[in-house]
A = this chain, B = another copy of it.
Amino acid sequence: MPETLPRESGITPKDRPSREWSENRAGLKKRFLHVRSATETLAAPLSAEDQTVQSMPDASPTKWHRAHTSWFFETFLLQPHAPDYVVFDEAYNYLFNSYYEAVGERHPRPQRGMITRPSVAEVTDYRAHVDEAMSRFIDECPADALPLIELGLNHEQQHQELLLTDIKHALSLNPTWPAYRIPGQNPAANDSAPKLRWLDVPAGLHTIGHSGAGFAFDNEGPEHSVFLHDAKIANRPVSIGKYLDFIADGGYGRPDFWLSDGWDAVRRNGWEAPGYWQRDGAVWMTYTLHGRRPVREDEPVAHVSFYEAAAYAAWAGKRLPSEAEWEVSARAHAGGNGHTPALNPHPRHLEPGFSQDVWEWTGSGYLPYPGFRAAKGAVGEYNGKFMVNQMVLRGRSCATPPGHERLTYRNFFGPAARWQFSGFRLAEDI
């Protein structure tokens, strides 16, 4: 095994392994196998046909997610650092590279749904091949490689969430609205929404960003100071009940509430409700991973774009919080019991805890923190090159793998995106 990883692997001092993993390879291996198997569990209810289709350029086939996450370990760990590793199939480097320009040419993103071969079964074999090699690699690799393994696991968890949101979009296009899983796994869905309260955000210098203990993506740092003004922030996201008031008040037909680009999106796309909603007579129905059913007033609104979140806030005479306000409040109100929410196929209100079952649009553009520098090499493409034209979302969602969430986490999507479990909470100046 090579003694040290080359610089260009993207492992910089700031990414040094969190202590628990670097001192405990057995624990890392266990976690590796756990994360890898969680992907397969999510894919299990899906047929070969389901796993192959791509319903829009933003989404990817299930099969592709399963292969690409394996490609990540093969490309960034096994190929450069495991001397005896035998590549599973040379063609996969072209087929399953997502966006790493430094790694070479790749299959065009909108054509991922055309990859009928390799088959689902071959991808299963590919995953087993990589898992076996990685199991050996974790035992023997230099300590410097461990942060990159940790990155690979966090990367795979991100794709687990995308796998769910992408297959939801694909299945929703089938006019028979098939369920991903049978109903009945969401017993708390009729819980009432927690009472709305307003939490203080005190003016002054605050510190946000990740400080270096434990894993974090590069875009979460560096930790830095930020000056906030006096404000208030809601204790939970907006619920469907209130959002229905916005709709009933003509919200989707009144340009004065909307950003100009948002109003264009409303008219161009014919939006008159959140994503996956369809009017059925007097009732709003929604497609969920459990199938189609009426919307429920006590759930947080989800599948809204940033434009809709901002329009609702204008209608309500409020605004969206900045990501700094969100993080400062989350630190203050996160609750102390280390409660980890479970994976849930549809969002509901959670209590206690600040983060909830929907990613929350903030009023902050996705831009680098002061002092941010992308790593050199391919891994440096992970986050930095997307820092324009997107808005930051904070928190987590019902589709976020348990343990993947973090108060400093910066999720990001374009302002028109609706296929994620995206909601929002309100804030206001004092």
Q: Which residues of A contact B (CB under 8 A)?
A: 47-53, 55, 63, 91, 94-95, 99, 101-102, 107, 111, 113-117, 119-120, 170-171, 173-176, 178, 205, 224-229, 255-256, 258-263, 306-307, 310, 319, 322, 363-365, 367-368, 370-371, 381, 385-389, 391, 415, 429
Contacts and interface: CB of A to CB of B under 8 A. Distances in A.
28 contacts: A47-B117, A47-B119, A48-B49, A49-B51, A50-B116, A52-B52, A52-B53, A94-B175, A101-B263, A116-B170, A116-B174, A117-B171, A117-B176, A205-B227, A224-B229, A225-B229, A226-B227, A259-B388, A260-B386, A261-B386, A261-B389, A262-B388, A319-B368, A365-B367, A370-B429, A371-B429, A388-B415, A389-B389
Contacts of A95: 175-176
Contacts of A263: 101, 385
Given A113-B113, A371-B429, 7 more contacts: A47-B117, A49-B52, A49-B63, A117-B171, A225-B229, A261-B389, A363-B367
A55 B53 CA distance: 11
A260 B120 contact: no
Contacts of A368: 319, 363
Q: Which 6 A-B pairs have the closest CB atoms?
A: A365-B365, A101-B255, A49-B116, A48-B48, A227-B227, A114-B173
A257 to B, nearest CB: 10
A284 B176 CA distance: 42
A119 B226 CA distance: 54
A209 B382 CA distance: 34
Contacts of A429: 370-371
A114 B363 CA distance: 35
Contacts of A388: 259, 261-262, 306-307, 310, 391, 415
Nearest to A364: B367
Contact of A47 (B48, B113, B227, B389): B48
Name the residue among A47, A95, A386, A387 with the largest chain B CB count within 10 angstroms: A47
A93 to B, nearest CB: 11
A51 B171 CA distance: 17
